[in-house]
Amino acid sequence: MAVLGSILTQLLHIALMLAAAPLLVGGVRWLKSRLMGRRGPHPMQPWRDLLKLLRKRPVLAEGASIVSRAAPYLALTATALAAALVPSFAFGMVLAPVADLLLIGGLLAFARVALALNGHDAGTPFGGLGAAREMTFAVFAEPALLVCVMVFAVLIGTTNLNTIGYGLSDGLVGLRVSLLFAAVALVAVALAENARVPVDNPATHLELTMVHEAMLLEASGRHLALWEMQASLKLLVWLGLLATLFLPFGTAAPGSGPFAWGLGLVLWAAKIGLLALALAVFESAIAKMRVFRVPEFLGGALMLALLAAALIFVSTGLA
């Protein structure tokens, strides 16, 4: 019976992530428009755009190879696998034993490489420029992510996200300054990984500053739909990751029933909605920084992550 429950929660979780990802992007756009005094597009607009694009045949650039054909499918598959490993409304899903933070980071890195190869494949200057910037930012963002993983590994004793989230939900760890530093570092990495302000602006196509959109200028039709879905799913993965690590309360425990699942679903939606509102307010309040200052921004995130690790080692007596 417990195995059946874990399989059912896993299937419901995957369906929830796929359905909610475009809605999350639409919600953030609607909130930003409201904060700026505009009416804004309907939160369901990303879903309408995806359905329209899926009905269109992709047009490939003259110099494009099989890389441009395979990259959107590979990137979406890797991101969907990562999404399946990040708990939402319940712990103890059937894939929980392999929900390792390093594996999730590796799947997202694989999707990034596929995106960068797609930008290079057509041979256009903007595609190569965006891919070069994307990989440069990754050099600074990934070490910060790995150090944060080490912080949780020392604190809980494992890198399994399901175990970490369930352990933190008990409240035994308590409030720690190191967790605050790790949270700020992970938020900075999440902004860079999802091409959000101040690192990138998803609403602009200004060639001097764009990163993510520069790699998709040649994408069209269902290929563009897959890339848009991958970007939406990645944003939901990161917000779900932050919610699991820093707002783990309310998630249904392993082996619980439908009532706990329903309560966990309501609280998960509230947590994701709160993070989406915070993202909209943050992006409405600040401007995009210059590209050459992004390494400094991510370097600050790495320093905070290292400080969190140092505090954890000192507080646990491992230093």
- The pLDDT of residue 96: 94
pTM for the model? 0.95
- What is the number of residues in the chain? 319
Q: What is the residue type of 257?
A: G
- 8 A C-beta contact, residue 75 and residue 129: no
Q: Which residues contact 174 (CB under 8 A, 6 or more apart)?
A: none
Residues 174-217: tens digit of each pLDDT:
778 889 999 999 999 999 999 898 988 777 666 666 788 888 88
Nearest to 92 by CA among 256, 248, 264, 262: 256
- The pLDDT of residue 262: 95
Token pair 């965006």 in the structure block, residue: 130
pLDDT over 60 at 276, yes or no:
yes
- The pLDDT of residue 174: 72
pLDDT over 90 at 123, yes or no:
no
Rg, the chain, Cα only = 19
Q: Is 122 helix (H, G, I), strand (E, B) or coil?
A: coil
Q: Is 89 helix (H, G, I), strand (E, B) or coil?
A: coil
Check residues 317 and 256 and name the one with the higher pLDDT.
256
- The pLDDT of residue 170: 78
Q: Using CA of residue 138, residue 210, residue 74, residue 165, what is the dihedral sign?
A: positive
Nearest to 119 by CA among 61, 32, 167: 61
pLDDT band at 125; cut points 50, 70, 90: confident
Residues 88-111: tens digit of each pLDDT:
999 999 999 999 999 999 999 999
Q: Which residues contact 69 (CB under 8 A, 6 or more apart)?
A: 60, 223
Q: What is the residue type of 11?
A: L
User: Distance from first CA to last CA of the chain, Å, rounded?
Assistant: 45
Nearest to 27 by CA among 273, 266, 241, 212: 273
Q: Cis check for the bond before 22: say yes or no (omega within 30 of 0).
A: no
Residues 134-166: tens digit of each pLDDT:
899 999 999 999 999 999 999 899 999 999 999
Tokens representing 9? Answer: 């929660």
- The pLDDT of residue 205: 63
pLDDT over 80 at 172, yes or no:
no
Q: Which of 167-171, 200-204, 213-217, 254-258 has the lowest mean pLDDT?
A: 200-204
pLDDT band at 307; cut points 50, 70, 90: very high
Tokens representing 161? Answer: 């996200």
Q: Which residues contact 204 (CB under 8 A, 6 or more apart)?
A: 210, 213
Name the average pLDDT for the chain: 91
Q: Is 160 helix (H, G, I), strand (E, B) or coil?
A: strand
- The pLDDT of residue 89: 95
Q: Which residues contact 65 (CB under 8 A, 6 or more apart)?
A: 121
- The pLDDT of residue 63: 81
Tokens representing 98? Answer: 């392999």
Residues 8-54: tens digit of each pLDDT:
999 999 999 999 999 999 999 999 999 989 988 999 999 999 999 99
Kindly state the average pLDDT of the residues 214-223.
90
- The pLDDT of residue 315: 81
Q: What is the residue type of 67?
A: V
